Structure 1
Amino acid sequence: MPSFSAEVFQNEFISEGATDVHAIVSVTCSGAGEAGRGGGGDAAEIVIVDTSGSMLDAKIVAARQAAAVAVDQILDGTWFAIISGTHIATRAFPYPNARVSMVQMEPGARAAAKEAISRLEADGGTAMGSWLKLAAQLFDTVPQATQRHAILLTDGQNQSEQPHQFQAAIESVTGRFQCDCRGVGADWDVAELRRVSTALLGTVDLIADPASMAADFEALMQKAMGRGVAEAQLRVWAPQGSQLLWVRQVSPNVEDLTGRKIEINPLTSAFPTGAWGDESRDYHVAVRVSPQPVGQERLAARVQLSVRDQIVSQGLVKAKWSGDDALTTRIDPAVAHYTGQAELAVVIQEGLAAKAAGDEATATTKLGRAVALAAETGNDEATSKLRKVVDIDDPATGTVRLKRSVDKLDEMALDTASTKTTRVNKR
């Protein structure tokens, strides 16, 4: 049986007249088990492979191998399908003439799926919205599968449908399944895939070399199969008269959940978090409360994790008004760390966008700030990737110079890694 625990890290003391309370709530799951085997419904997986014309030669060969490796990791009993994506979406397995849209994994189905994968050929354009809509339609044929996950691979930009069509497709499938996105090579658009992964509670990452694709797919599918909790909600209660400013996931990556709010009742909001395995996730909760006299204490928020409408863990965020500056000016290390990490993600993306637009002054300022934040928060991975885009004169002050010649893959690696955070030692 899975078990959850929650810890709250904050400075409870705020000064006279202050209203804003910040806390990091760390939620840990253990004993999650395997996907589809926890009694909460079946699991379903779809592998979506870009088979457009740009995937010719080494890429399509690597994609076939990666899809086959992913199929090998799917647990017996899991519903699954393979989609071939071009300017249209095609069900590659089960075969288009099959009577069912998805099948449960077993040795015969695994062998047949790998045979179908071996026949994938590269041709046509790219319309990722149609791929997503077909995936949702296939998932809908197995309502007993409450845990639904897809892997989407592409090597290009979404040129075969209009931007508004793509956005409408993303919105139409949001909340219906989770999706991890991977881009291979240097010709795809990070921001485009990030729109998909953000809406569908997944991740986006770069596969620079097609030879790395199989290992990446293997790890993704293994992780998906290790998520034995199909769905959980983060619920935040705030007292009457208070305002929930934001809820952000800040580890293992930065994701603003505020816009996903579902109102449970006038005082309680819920935020979908997707499926869980054995892992820890950290959330930054900010609440604005009514100011109280010095010496007063009140509960600013109650943060709970809910699984199938059952509360499985809880953390309390408190506010204590004090006239002691030594207490009120202290910033909790976890809050400070993750505030810096959230800003780091923003300035990296803004800096790269400015650089692409030819605004070197803004790019230098933003990426310089990123260097300083990476140094301050101990994010060595970000620092390493930043060094490939800028020459660093002084990391402490963020004094940098844009490199004259930068490999596009290095920029894309920095962009995709911008939301990945380093965990803080909260003790």
Structure 2
Amino acid sequence: MANFSKSSVPRFSMDVYQNEYLPEGGREVNAIVTVTATGGGTIGGAVTAPGAHGPGGGPSAAVVIMVDCSGSMDYPPAKMRNAREATAAAIATLRDGTRFAVVAGTHVAKEVYPGGGRLAVADAGTREEARTALRRLGAGGGTAIGTWLRLADRLLAAEEVAIRHGVLLTDGRNEHEAPEDLRRTLEECAGRFTCDARGVGTDWEVKEVTGIASALLGTADIVADPAGLAADFTGMMEKAMGKEVADVALRIWTPVGTTIRYVKQVAPNVVELTGRRTEAGPRAGDYPTGSWGDESRDYHLCVEVPAAHLGQEMLAARVSLVVPQPDGSAHHLGAQGLVRAVWTDDMAASTAINAQVAHYTGQAELARAIQQGLDLRKAGDLDGATARLGRAVQLASASGNADTAKLLAKVVDVVDAATGTVRLKAKVEEADEMTLETRSTKTVRVKK
């Protein structure tokens, strides 16, 4: 659990954006909740100047890096070399005092460094020892990702630290483990550590990698060219080292008769949280958000309230930030937001859609349209794929999501972005299609 001294926890604030007005008989209330953390030791996502996080100067942290060492990592041979260099670069980015280990993943998981069921403490000596140990990494064997995650969980659980983080690299499909075994492992590891997942090359399964990251509240991405691994690993570890407090939850209280329809993170990417609720006392539930540094995220809350008469108003939900404790108590982080419902016969007021709600509803639809379109394309339904990807182009254009629009343009020829008129490209590079699918949930922030 985190140490909650004032020096170690960012300052959290919360803003609520909604149209609280409902027509007579109206029951659905939507709100965007923006959570911002500041003063946590990072600037623009990068770690502050060297020395700012010396031993004891930042929160205690432990990191386990899981490197795919299956036989396919030898094709081409440079892939394994790039993976070793990327892992060394990530270890070089760790601040002094961070506990760390490296795991080789095949159809079994093996400790590469330091071994003996323990973690090393980052300093100049252990970084050099790890670099030497990495030279022994070779390729051979199958792929059973659940075994890698279980070993990482055991290693991380042995450390009394505030932040527990995993990094997982794979180049292939999880062929030597039943899907339900991986699913069970993810359920067991959820809430115990966060994990960033990366697919290198183009022979891995996008839904497996993104599913791991989603379940463990980390990031997922593709590194199509193995030569880009070192830069990606360095950036990923810089962000991990910028985390200041772990296990933060959105605690949502609702009054009698009110039902939470869904809760999802909508920026910087779409993450479904509805099914991850844990009860937190009468009419309250906690939704996990993972670890935080200096950053801002947006959440979409949709609640169904009891019908009421014109002129009535009610508190539809109260949102706060907490770090749940093992004894059932919670450390409150000080930020709170209120979601209201007011019934009115003013049609202009009750039919207006809040700009933030409209924007993120569109971004969530954009992610779904991309995923559905690519699935239909793989299934051979070209008309269906064209329709869904055309809708995605239309939504990306309307919302100003330029990065996603560029990725879509590598899969379809855009005739008219405003109307979503597109043609499927006859030939699409596999890396381009996988990049679009992997990054489909990334959103663009609404201009407030």
Report the TM range for the smaller structure's normalisation: over 0.9
For residue 120 of structure 1, what is the aligned residue in structure 2?
137
SS at match of 2:162: strand
Aligned 1:227-376 pairs, distance under 5 A: 227-307=243-323, 309-311=330-332, 312-376=334-398
Distance (whole Å) between structure 2 residues aligned to residue 167 and residue 236 of structure 1: 27
Given the alignment of the two structures, is residue 84 of structure 1 paired with residue 100 of structure 2, yes or no? no
For residue 44 of structure 1, what is the aligned residue in structure 2?
62
Shift of 1:24: 0.4
Q: Percentage identity across aligned positions? A: 51
Find 1:29's aligned residue among 8, 26, 37. 37
For residue 414 of structure 1, what is the aligned residue in structure 2?
436
Pair 1:155–1:37, CA change in 2 (3 A):
same
Pair 1:265–1:276, CA change in 2 (3 A):
same
**1:212-262 CA distance string (max 9 Å, x none):** 110100000000000011221111111111001111100000001001001
Find 1:75's aligned residue among 92, 95, 111. 95
Q: Which runs of 5+ in 1 are unaligned?
A: none
Pair 1:72–1:41, CA change in 2 (3 A):
closer
Contact 1:78 1:104 in 2 (8 A): yes
For residue 108 of structure 1, what is the aligned residue in structure 2?
125
Equivalent position amino acid for 1:376 in 2? A
Distance (whole Å) between structure 2 residues aligned to residue 39 and residue 271 of structure 1: 29
For residue 50 of structure 2, what is the aligned residue in structure 1?
none
Contact 2:54 2:96 in 1 (8 A): no
Pair 1:37–1:284, CA change in 2 (3 A):
farther
Contact 2:162 2:245 in 1 (8 A): no
Distance (whole Å) between structure 2 residues aligned to residue 40 and residue 407 of structure 1: 43
For residue 47 of structure 2, what is the aligned residue in structure 1?
none
Distance (whole Å) between structure 2 residues aligned to residue 77 and residue 94 of structure 1: 15
Equivalent position amino acid for 1:72 in 2? A
Shift of 1:67: 0.2
Distance (whole Å) between structure 1 residues aligned to residue 292 and residue 232 of structure 2: 19
Contact 1:37 1:228 in 2 (8 A): no
Equivalent position amino acid for 1:45 in 2? V
Equivalent position amino acid for 1:63 in 2? A
Pair 1:41–1:226, CA change in 2 (3 A):
closer
Distance (whole Å) between structure 2 residues aligned to residue 3 and residue 71 of structure 1: 29
For residue 383 of structure 1, what is the aligned residue in structure 2?
405
The TM-score, its normalising length taken from structure 1, stands at 0.96
Farther off after superposition, 112-121 or 273-282: 112-121
Contact 2:20 2:340 in 1 (8 A): yes
Contact 1:296 1:321 in 2 (8 A): yes
For residue 149 of structure 2, what is the aligned residue in structure 1?
132
Pair 1:36–1:424, CA change in 2 (3 A):
farther
Shift of 1:397: 1.6
SS at match of 1:149: strand
Given the alignment of the two structures, is residue 203 of structure 1 paired with residue 219 of structure 2, yes or no? yes
Contact 1:54 1:155 in 2 (8 A): yes
Equivalent position amino acid for 2:385 in 1? A
Shift of 1:41: 6.6
SS at match of 1:335: helix
Farther off after superposition, 329-338 or 360-369: 360-369
Distance (whole Å) between structure 1 residues aligned to residue 170 and residue 231 of structure 2: 16
**1:52-93 CA distance string (max 9 Å, x none):** 111111111110110000000111111110001111111000
Pair 1:408–1:86, CA change in 2 (3 A):
same
SS at match of 1:247: strand
Given the alignment of the two structures, is residue 5 of structure 1 paired with residue 6 of structure 2, yes or no? no
Distance (whole Å) between structure 2 residues aligned to residue 355 and residue 38 of structure 1: 52
Distance (whole Å) between structure 1 residues aligned to residue 221 and residue 185 of structure 2: 21
How many residue pairs get matched?
Answer: 422
Contact 1:36 1:230 in 2 (8 A): no
Distance (whole Å) between structure 2 residues aligned to residue 209 and residue 39 of structure 1: 36
Distance (whole Å) between structure 1 residues aligned to residue 154 and residue 11 of structure 2: 33
Given the alignment of the two structures, is residue 61 of structure 1 paired with residue 81 of structure 2, yes or no? yes
Contact 1:18 1:291 in 2 (8 A): yes
Distance (whole Å) between structure 2 residues aligned to residue 396 and residue 220 of structure 1: 35
Farther off after superposition, 306-315 or 149-158: 306-315
Distance (whole Å) between structure 1 residues aligned to residue 358 and residue 309 of structure 2: 26
Shift of 1:392: 1.3
